[in-house]
Structure 1
Amino acid sequence: MRLNYTNSRATFIFAILISFFTILSAKSQTLALLEGNSQNGNITGEVKTNDNSPVGFVSVMLKGTTKGSITTEDGKFQIRNIKAGTYTLIATYVGLEAQEKEVTVQAGQTSQIDLVLPHSSQQLNEVVVTETRSMNKKPVAIGKIAINPLDMPQSMAVIDNKIISEQQASKLSDVIKNVNGVALGTTRGATSETFFARGYNLGANNIFKNGARSNSAVIPEASTLERVEVLKGSAALLYGNVSGGAVINMVTKQPKFEYGGEVALRAGSFNLYKPIADVYGPITQNLAFRLIGTYETAKSYRNSVESERFYVNPSLLYKLGSKTEILVQGDYLKNDLTPDFGIGTLASKIPISISRSAYFNTPWAYNKVEQTTASVNVNHQLNQNWKLNFVGSRQLFNRDYFSTERIQANARGDWGRNLTRSKIAEDYYTGQVNLTGTVKTGSISHTLLVGTDAESYLNTTHTFNLKTAYDSINILDPTKYIARTDMPVSPIKSRTETPTYRFGTYIQDLISLSNKFKVLAGLRWSYQKLAVAKIYDVTSNEVTKSTTATTRYDRAFSPRVGLVYQPRTNTSFFASYSNNFTPNTGKDVYEQNLEASIIDQYEVGVKNDLLKDKLSVNLTFYKVINNNLAQQAQFLADGTTINTDANIKELTGQTTSDGIEVDVNGSIVEGLNFLAGYSYNFMRYTKTSGENGSYLEGERLVSNPAHTTNATLFYTLPYTALKGLKVGVSGFYTGERNAGWNTAHVVKYGKDGSVSRTLNYRLVPVSGFTTFDLSLGYSYKQLSFIGKLSNITNELNYYVHENYSVNPIPPRQVVTTLSYKF
């Protein structure tokens, strides 16, 4: 199916953009004069090592001034608006010898200066690295091109390894809670984590690892990550079928051409034990390795709940000459945990009188997951201005699950336990090629990204011969019934295979009309084929039938345009518009594949670097309109039977999401690092049919808190006898939200021709909550220790999935890490 209305709108917008660029190009010389460029000059250049490799993140300063820059990942830098005269340019980087070079700046001209930093011959016993780049000057890999975030008309966040290690993060949610506007949710049985941003669920399409799409049905290992990047809002231009909320990219640690590593032991409340090992170094002059491994075993504040995790992450980095790098990465995660539906609901309400530790599943319930990922990343420098990048990956995912389901007790506490058995496998291939570079057309410079990507995804599910009814228990009085403890036999009956194919091609251009005005424009064409599923008999391995669905084809253009105005080098105002289509997984009540949803997003904001880049303050406003949101269907095809299958969905109507986000980040005083944020979101239905089953307009969508706030501060004493002592405090607030399902219209037709209309209220209100963590650590030479007391006030609240998986948040607990670096 071709989405003609989207293509027409994209063509219309693209025609406007061409006209807009033509007008702006003609006016660019006038703008330059208005900015006073005739009085000032610029310096551009590139920094390399003596083996001709570009060096990113080098500090380049004009001696005796506050003017300076940080090189991008490909070694390039630019210093603008410099008064005419002769200066000394200084380039410094830890591990390389600093270099100085004289440069003459002429009014109205750009001076080109290249620098070579030799490898340092000095041996440093101790190196203290002070991060001088602000959050607005750290290019993110998830953007596919090294563009200064200050030049991007989009909000983004980066949580680096320093925060990850200081907070002793082990799960992705431990990291993401530092990103304002991204709230943690949960899945059925708390077997994985899910996140909501700008009103949208960030499912498997929105989670990436090293730039390749990653399965979200398992809790990722976070303690070995180098950083986590979050690109807020629409990223459809770069990644195709993603939701309008955000995309998350997990970046694992990479090999180094120097020997080193770290061993650590993490231990904490509820029998948490986690050894961590990280070793890296050169194998040959051009080949380096890194091997990271963790093992974790833990019980829980929840009775009978426990987990065991094993993770290993090997990688190789090969320098093929001076212009080509090949990075091969892999990881393997094995995670066994107890499915846990928490305390459930009592007459559709949260039974707060039930103990936080109460457990109602069977003693044998299990969730076993294995995930294997392999990727290759090739970077080739074609010349000084152009770079070619290739990323290919494969991911295998297997999940074996057997558990009771859906704790939904009646007012007396009685609950008839049912069973669910599932076995899922996913085989995922992805590939992308990106060409990036800079070019000039007259006085206008262009930073270009041209790319293409493709994916092949095979989902395999199984059905079982299983009697789902198990027994009955009472969640208020465990002695009322005798609970079963045996595990029923459940042989596999059939296997269903569903293939999906995706392809896209895109172009993006950051057009620098002058030092103050920039335009970001791009267009993507996406294609998806959702093939008919085949059902196999497991005994004969022959196709018994195909589902009644037909193969679905989706094609659409996704345009994006943004305007950036920088009145000063450290301040940026921006406005942008983007459009994308989101293919919807699952089937409708008639077993047909769902149509795609069309999403329009508008975003305006300001980014500021203050106090000589020691403080960053960003503010963003947005509006996201989804023409037809896909949700789990309330009823089956007969219109009366309640649907319990999450794969059976319906298109529920137009939604609108408005919001504001504030980010604060910096290091004003030596040794003091902090980040904070606040967000407000209001996502509601704005257009529905008003007929049977349709949702109530104006009501906030479930699972989305209105307000979230985060703040973290760490201070390390740089001097005195207590040098190395570290103190940290963190606070996190999740506002009120609703669980359950949104209110729906119910229309009934009487035999006498009468029509009655009522509203079916199934909301489960959940109050907001705040938690505080306190950390204390000390480092001496290569040895360090840090401990954290989390949820100091022992706050009690819940993460709720729909209206049956109600999981209490963790109570007050302690976690400590002892590590040794070598």
Structure 2
Amino acid sequence: MKAGKHDADLTAIAKLALALSLSQLASLASANEPEDTAISPAKPASATQPDSAPSNSNALESLSESLAAVDEFNGPLKDVADMDIDELVKVKISPFEVSSGLDSGYRASNSVSGSRFDAPIRELPFAIQSFTEAFIKDQRPREIFDIARYSPGVTYRSNDFNEGNANLAIRGFTVGSLAGGNIQTLRDGVHGPSILDFTNVSRVEVVKGPASFLYGQVAPGGIVNVITKTPRRQFAANVAARYGSYGQYRFETDVTGPASKTLFYRMAASYDQDLHYWEPYDAHAWNISPSLLWQPIDRFSLSLKYERFEKIEAPQLMQKPGYGTWTGIMPSATDPNRSGVDVPGLPDTWNGMAYSDYRHSNTDNLSTWLDFKADEHWNLRAGYSHMEYDVDALATGNFGMANNVTTLQGRRVRHQVYNNRDDTIELQGVGRYDLGFASLRLLFGGQYVDRNFHRWAGQAPNDPSLSGNPTASPLPLWDLSDPSTWNRHTSIGLSGLTASRFDQNLNAADKSVYGGSTFGIFEDRLLVLTGWRWTETESRLSDVLNQRSQPRVSASRVTPQYGLLFKLTPEWSWFASYAESFVPGTFSINRLDGGTAIPDPSEGRGYDVGIKAEWLDGRLSSTLSYFDIENKNIVNDLAVTDANGVVTIYGVQTGKQTSRGIEWDATAQLTEQWQLYLSYTYMDAKITEFTGRDDAILAQNPDTLDATGLTYYKNALRFHNAPLQMSAPHLANLWTRYDFKADAWRGLHIGGGFNFVYDQTLLSDTPSSDRQTYLLLNALIGYSWRVGEHELSVDFMGKNLLDEQYRPSQSSRGRPRELTISFSVKF
């Protein structure tokens, strides 16, 4: 490459760094510009070797010379800067990045999450749903569940008061693990944050079944991988604004293009003001996400991505207060089970927080990936990811009741701070060979993860001058049937929060290596996948408050995955897969007998069998699968409010949980104008063994048991064969869109759909009479037109048109009917 061009590159980099200063970035809003495949390693073109190079370009020159030496066997390197636009648009992307160029509307052709390399979905021997940027844009999502719920078998599991909004359940099993090891969703294939915003998201992929072979410590239901936006080669920009019900509004912008012929940038940003529906409640958030892609030659690229998201709630929204289980050993008419049942009579707009309460959540994500094509067979990747998630919350509201008949509720003033840091280093290699009689694709990799989780909390002591009937409280009790007692102008200084204190620090390190292969015979009509991963994890929990540390905990496992896919005809394929998973225990749990212990690793295994089909040249595709999953040693949380108003969360490690069912999804482009996505799930997810010896415990005479024995007896009675939390036997989803092409209607588009949930249990022991069934209806109508080189669009969106009152998860609130209007301009 010419020396002058190196100077230009460095100058462009310096200019870009200045242009992306935070003071300028804060003024940007974001866009939903579709991804373009012309951002990746380009096809070869002629290169010009420099006669000399100035000192400030030695690093770039040395790198190019080293790559040239490696690539000698393939001829001279090709300089991307010398390519014309026709060559750039024929670019073949890295096998570690998903090919979005073959997508058509809602239909995703390829996936990267199911195999860690770009592969056609129809050739992967398990169920995968991949939601494209076009689908995401039409949904106007606020949370990951707004998209993931369309995947069959996915429900919401977030404990919103301390856990963020990104914890889902797949086939009944939460994707997150214990605090401190909370993987939840993945971001570009590595650990993602606990709170997620869609400003920088281009794709969401859901992979079903145990996936520890590919991703380490994950639950057996599956994983959700969020794929972020990447820079494009050609300039594009999008600006959008949205306004809606109850004063909500949002501004977004997305700008991408070349800084030079070898350096490309992207900047997505947003500001969001949430609706003012609940009283009291206020929340606003902002996101800024710059990224760079440097590609000096066709075999090498280096990417850098950063994302900062902050959400401020003052006060935050809390679930309505709910009753608990029966107080005796057996439920009765006078002592019924009301677990998870809301206190009646409170309006949907009600929020139990004080005006002084708040929750501040922020995430920082930084990642860099180096991709190198070693030869015609092998592609290599090295990467580093840094993630931080912090939440600082003060809560006066309470969500429990002292007993199942009272309307009197104690208050609390609790301050808690959670800090989660995660650093990941990963190496990967993908090899491809044509053996003549067969094809072979190899995957090797290694990963090191260093995690730190710190949590601190303190609570106000109870005021002895207040009546303790039915519960003690630091502030005057509320009568939930009498609004005159709802005094929200109360506060206690943080220095006075001396009760129920803890200060804990968890350090953990995970090391793993993995390898797998996909072997194809009979012209790839039969594909056989095998893979194994060895993972070793170590952790130590320190009690900072009492200056004590628990013994170091370590665990290791080899988790296999096997898959088989046979193409019966060009349209029909049959597949089967088996995989295992494990999640080690890290934090000690409070046992029901009053002690504490580190739980054993949870271990899962599962298999899928099913069929995949594609008709009409791929315009209609569908997957039907039967699944059977077993998970052992799961920790279930039991929240108990005592007579002093103190909430204690006990952990019970169950013997076994199972989930069996059928999933079906289909994506159709019935005509050039009409797109359709639909899914259905039948699921039987339950606790088959709560204590590990339920039958023996329930065979005992409760009159002969001591206090601990009675506690185990009661909980075996509550949870034996009970449904998994937030699981539902039937889930169905549909979304469709039609774009008018006739001259008189050109530019008009309409869309609509529903989310149907039947007989969903909030908590495993919620009475069957109080399970929820609801239908959410949503609709979209919009118009797009061009003014010169610019495309303008206006859209009207209606969500929850029936104004259903529902609970997305056990600890969150459903949103009311929302009507929004949005306007966007593409440059």
Interval of TM-score (by shorter of Structure 1 and Structure 2)? 0.7 to 0.9
Residue 185 of structure 1 pairs with residue 157 of structure 2? yes
Contact 2:533 2:558 in 1 (8 A): yes
Residue 710 of structure 1 pairs with residue 733 of structure 2? yes
- What's the offset of the Cα at 1:346? 5.1
Runs of 5+ consecutive residues of structure 2 not aligned to the other structure: 1-39, 47-83, 92-100, 177-181, 325-337, 463-472, 698-708
- Rounded Cα–Cα distance in structure 2 between residues aligned with 1:330 and 1:645: 38
- Rounded Cα–Cα distance in structure 2 between residues aligned with 1:799 and 1:645: 24
- Rounded Cα–Cα distance in structure 2 between residues aligned with 1:381 and 1:141: 20
Q: 1:808 to 1:335 in 2, by over 3 A?
A: closer
- What's the offset of the Cα at 1:255? 0.8
- What's the offset of the Cα at 1:281? 1.1
User: 292, 313, 318: which one pairs with 2:289?
Assistant: 313
Which residue of 2 is the match for residue 490 of structure 1?
495
SS at match of 1:719: coil
SS at match of 1:817: strand
Q: 1:641 to 1:633 in 2, by over 3 A?
A: farther
Q: Deviations over 1:122-142 (max 9, x none)?
A: xxxxxxx99459957313246
Specify the code of the residue in structure 2 equivalent to 1:355.
P
User: 375, 383, 387: which one pairs with 2:367?
Assistant: 375
Residue 511 of structure 1 pairs with residue 519 of structure 2? yes
Q: Deviations over 1:221-257 (max 9, x none)?
A: 1143111111111111001110011211111211111
User: 203, 206, 209: which one pairs with 2:187?
Assistant: 209
The farther-off stretch of 203-212 and 609-618 is: 203-212
Contact 2:162 2:391 in 1 (8 A): no
Contact 2:685 2:724 in 1 (8 A): yes
Identical aligned residues as a percent: 19
Specify the code of the residue in structure 2 equivalent to 1:209.
R
User: 724, 736, 743: which one pairs with 2:747?
Assistant: 724
Residue 341 of structure 1 pairs with residue 328 of structure 2? no
Contact 1:579 1:600 in 2 (8 A): yes
Q: 1:491 to 1:397 in 2, by over 3 A?
A: farther
Q: How does 1:9-158 map to 2 (within 5 A)?
A: 50-51=43-44, 131-132=103-104, 135=107, 137-141=109-113, 143-158=115-130
Which residue of 2 is the match for residue 530 of structure 1?
539
- Rounded Cα–Cα distance in structure 2 between residues aligned with 1:534 and 1:259: 53
Specify the code of the residue in structure 2 equivalent to 1:359.
N
Which residue of 2 is the match for residue 559 of structure 1?
560
SS at match of 2:352: coil
User: 429, 442, 450: which one pairs with 1:448?
Assistant: 442
Q: 1:190 to 1:779 in 2, by over 3 A?
A: farther
SS at match of 1:270: helix
Q: 1:508 to 1:225 in 2, by over 3 A?
A: same
- Rounded Cα–Cα distance in structure 2 between residues aligned with 1:494 and 1:577: 42
Which residue of 1 is the match for residue 627 of structure 2?
622
Residue 197 of structure 1 pairs with residue 174 of structure 2? no
TM-score by length of 2: 0.77
Residue 354 of structure 1 pairs with residue 346 of structure 2? yes
User: 268, 278, 284: which one pairs with 1:302?
Assistant: 278
User: 500, 508, 528: which one pairs with 1:500?
Assistant: 508
Q: How does 1:399-798 map to 2 (within 5 A)?
A: 399-409=391-401, 410-441=404-435, 443-464=437-458, 466-467=460-461, 469-471=473-475, 472-480=477-485, 485-490=490-495, 495-515=503-523, 516-535=525-544, 544-547=546-549, 549-589=550-590, 590-633=595-638, 644-646=647-649, 648-687=650-689, 688-690=692-694, 691=697, 692=709, 693=712, 694-695=715-716, 696-742=719-765, 765-781=770-786, 782-798=791-807
Identify, as 1 or 2, the structure richer in strand.
Answer: 1
Runs of 5+ consecutive residues of structure 1 not aligned to the other structure: 1-46, 54-94, 99-115, 120-128, 537-543, 743-760
- What's the offset of the Cα at 1:286? 0.3
- Rounded Cα–Cα distance in structure 2 between residues aligned with 1:331 and 1:580: 30
Q: 1:52 to 1:168 in 2, by over 3 A?
A: farther
Specify the code of the residue in structure 2 equivalent to 1:554.
A
- What's the offset of the Cα at 1:407? 2.3
Identify, as 1 or 2, the structure richer in helix.
Answer: 2
Q: 1:442 to 1:327 in 2, by over 3 A?
A: same
Q: 1:512 to 1:640 in 2, by over 3 A?
A: farther
SS at match of 2:277: coil
Q: 1:414 to 1:257 in 2, by over 3 A?
A: same
Contact 2:640 2:648 in 1 (8 A): no
Which residue of 2 is the match for residue 174 of structure 1?
146
The farther-off stretch of 289-298 and 144-153 is: 144-153
- What's the offset of the Cα at 1:621? 0.6
Contact 1:294 1:312 in 2 (8 A): yes
- Rounded Cα–Cα distance in structure 2 between residues aligned with 1:558 and 1:265: 47
Contact 1:264 1:817 in 2 (8 A): yes
Residue 231 of structure 1 pairs with residue 236 of structure 2? no
Q: 1:633 to 1:413 in 2, by over 3 A?
A: closer
SS at match of 2:762: strand
SS at match of 2:597: coil
Q: 1:227 to 1:518 in 2, by over 3 A?
A: same
Which residue of 1 is the match for residue 234 of structure 2?
258
- Rounded Cα–Cα distance in structure 1 between residues aligned with 2:644 and 2:363: 36
Contact 2:42 2:298 in 1 (8 A): no
- What's the offset of the Cα at 1:177? 2.4
Contact 2:113 2:207 in 1 (8 A): no
- Rounded Cα–Cα distance in structure 2 between residues aligned with 1:479 and 1:723: 57
- Rounded Cα–Cα distance in structure 2 between residues aligned with 1:699 and 1:494: 33
TM-score by length of 1: 0.77
- What's the offset of the Cα at 1:375? 0.2
Contact 2:392 2:416 in 1 (8 A): yes
SS at match of 2:213: helix
Which residue of 2 is the match for residue 16 of structure 1?
none
Q: How many pairs were matched up?
A: 674
Q: Deviations over 1:281-302 (max 9, x none)?
A: 1111100111111011123321
- Rounded Cα–Cα distance in structure 2 between residues aligned with 1:328 and 1:118: 23
Contact 1:175 1:222 in 2 (8 A): no
- Rounded Cα–Cα distance in structure 1 between residues aligned with 2:608 and 2:248: 43
SS at match of 1:735: strand
- Rounded Cα–Cα distance in structure 1 between residues aligned with 2:502 and 2:683: 43
Which residue of 2 is the match for residue 103 of structure 1?
none
CA RMSD of aligned residues (A): 2.8
- Rounded Cα–Cα distance in structure 1 between residues aligned with 2:630 and 2:541: 30
- Rounded Cα–Cα distance in structure 2 between residues aligned with 1:117 and 1:774: 36
Which residue of 1 is the match for residue 259 of structure 2?
283
Which residue of 2 is the match for residue 813 of structure 1?
818
SS at match of 2:665: strand
SS at match of 1:336: strand
Q: 1:796 to 1:820 in 2, by over 3 A?
A: same
Contact 1:190 1:341 in 2 (8 A): no
Which residue of 1 is the match for residue 13 of structure 2?
none
- Rounded Cα–Cα distance in structure 2 between residues aligned with 1:795 and 1:682: 25
- What's the offset of the Cα at 1:480? 4.5
Contact 1:435 1:449 in 2 (8 A): yes
Contact 2:680 2:731 in 1 (8 A): yes
The farther-off stretch of 773-782 and 414-423 is: 414-423
Q: 1:339 to 1:265 in 2, by over 3 A?
A: same
Q: 1:481 to 1:641 in 2, by over 3 A?
A: closer
Q: Deviations over 1:447-488 (max 9, x none)?
A: 111111110001112243732633210112112475652243
SS at match of 2:478: strand
Specify the code of the residue in structure 2 equivalent to 1:568.
T
User: 249, 253, 267: which one pairs with 2:225?
Assistant: 249
- Rounded Cα–Cα distance in structure 1 between residues aligned with 2:115 and 2:155: 22
Q: 1:569 to 1:645 in 2, by over 3 A?
A: farther
